[in-house]
């Protein structure tokens, strides 16, 4: 199923295909989660090898559930891009992890989760941290599906003030606003918007 979805996405012109998570062996949950939550290089290879290519194979890492040693240099891995997801309280160390993964040759996206819980001053603090880092792709996630288009517009405007950073948006559909919010994000300068299959 995943191989067919990857092939169809590639044929459809999708830029990135996020296959699953990478939970590292040092994480206490490692043996409690399934293979799509561990998504090691062998698992990713089983999806993309021999299948029509196009979409960049991507995995997600929740900060604290994988470590630097869970990544090998990009030239030896089937993974092309990594999304590092973090809550506000772990933003500093998550940026360090993102920078390390980037130094190995991967395209990296830093994903600010639960953006609706950021106060204006906390958003400014986050911008300062990102501004002083080498992060160039900055996502924000409507983790609780509680944003309206006006909120999305304001957040994108604020994040686009960081020089040289491309902004992405990850919607949730709790209030049936995901499509409207994605359109708003695209209209107001987001470089990336996410979709899901089914």
pLDDT per residue as tens digits for the range 52-65: 889 999 999 999 99
pLDDT at 81: 98
161-180 b/e (C-beta count within 10 Å ≥ 16 → b) = ebeebbbbbbbbeeeebbee
For residue range 73-132, list pLDDT tens digits in order. Answer: 999 999 999 999 999 999 999 999 999 999 999 999 999 999 999 999 999 999 999 999
Confidence label for 26 from pLDDT (cuts 50, 70 and 90):
confident
Residue 68: how many CB atoms within 10 A of its CB? 12
Is the per-residue pLDDT at 32 higher than 90? no
What's the N-to-C CA distance of the chain in angstroms? 12
Supply the pTM of this predicted model. Answer: 0.93
pLDDT at 114: 95
Joined tokens for residue 171: 């919607």
Backbone angles phi, psi at 43, to 5 degrees: -65, -45
Sign of the torsion angle spanned by Cα atoms 147, 148, 149, 153: negative
């Amino acid at each position: 199923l995943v191989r067919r979805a990857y092939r169809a996405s590639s044929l459809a012109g999708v830029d990135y295909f996020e296959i699953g998570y990478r939970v590292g062996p040092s994480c206490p949950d490692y043996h409690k989660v399934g293979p799509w939550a561990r998504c090691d290089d062998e698992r990713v290879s089983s999806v993309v090898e021999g299948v029509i290519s196009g979409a960049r194979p991507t995995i997600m890492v929740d900060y604290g559930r994988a470590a630097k040693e869970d990544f090998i240099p990009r030239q030896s891995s089937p993974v092309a891009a990594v999304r590092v997801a973090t809550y506000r309280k772990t933003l500093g160390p998550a940026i360090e992890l993102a920078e390390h993964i980037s130094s190995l040759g991967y395209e990296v996206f830093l994903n600010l989760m639960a953006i609706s819980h950021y106060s204006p001053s906390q958003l400014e603090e986050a911008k300062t941290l990102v501004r002083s880092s080498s992060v160039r792709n900055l996502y924000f996630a409507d983790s609780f599906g509680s944003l309206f288009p006006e909120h999305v517009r304001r957040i994108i405007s604020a994040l686009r003030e960081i020089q040289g950073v491309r902004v992405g948006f990850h919607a949730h559909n709790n209030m049936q606003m995901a499509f409207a919010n994605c359109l708003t994000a695209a209209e107001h300068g987001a470089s990336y918007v996410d979709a899901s299959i089914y």
